[in-house]
Structure 1
Amino acid sequence: MKYVYVHWRLSGEHRPAEMFYEIDDDLVEVRKVEKYPGGHMDVAGPEIETGETWISGDRFPSLEEINSDGEFVAKEISGHEFNEIWGQAIIHLRMVGKIS
């Protein structure tokens, strides 16, 4: 697995400012967390999709490809870092009543 953090510089109220991805060896998304400027979070994974967040079946672009677009800044993160934000997002979604 590979884990990626992406900051979207042109985020807004209805667009995530931060995105966290778990990517498999075939470069396909497995799980992701989207975090919005106001602190709201949505997730997507094999058995969960909240808000407008969903798993893309497309090949995940390289960090170089993402960073070549001036709107985004991407870097690799650890599995531990991803799992921390995933856990925070699940707690958030339970607190706001989006999942049980």
Structure 2
Amino acid sequence: MFYVLIEQDLEEEDEPRHIYAELDSSRREVRRVEFYPNGLCFAYGGAYGRQEALSPAPYPEDLRTLNRPGEVEAHAITADVFHAIWGQAQERPDGFMGMFA
């Protein structure tokens, strides 16, 4: 497994600021957690299901190809960091629907 953090500094409020992804040996998403500037958190894959929301395209081996200076920065993270974030996602509202559950 590989683990990635994508940090986005975009003007759109409806775009996630932090995307944490767990990738399989083909570098395809297995689980993903998105954190938005308004405090919402969405999790996909694993116990959350919604695998259809995971990106079908593999991540590049060189994550720097995803970088756009001043907008997007992608880098590898450790499994421990991802698992801690995955655990936090379980403690937060699950997007809009979780707010009403």
TM-score, normalization: structure 2? 0.81
Relative distance call for 1:82 and 1:44 in structure 2 (3 A) is same
Matched residue, 1:76 = 76
Matched residue, 2:13 = 13
Gaps of at least 5 residues in structure 1 are none
What is the CA–CA distance in structure 1 between the aligned matches of 2:4 and 2:37, rounded to whole Å? 19
**How far 1:97 moved relative to its partner?**
6.1
Aligned ranges for residues 1-100 of structure 1 at < 5 Å? 1-46=1-46, 47-49=48-50, 54-61=53-60, 62-67=62-67, 69-70=68-69, 71-93=71-93, 98=98
User: RMSD of the TM alignment (CA)?
Assistant: 2.3
Q: Is the 8 A contact 2:64 2:73 kept in 1?
A: no
More helix by share: 2
What is the CA–CA distance in structure 2 between the aligned matches of 1:3 and 1:43, rounded to whole Å? 15
TM-score, normalization: structure 1? 0.81
Q: Is the 8 A contact 1:6 1:19 kept in 2?
A: yes
Q: Tell me the matched-pair count.
A: 95
What is the CA–CA distance in structure 1 between the aligned matches of 2:11 and 2:82, rounded to whole Å? 20
Identity of aligned residues (%): 32
> What's the secondary structure of 1:98's corresponding residue?
helix
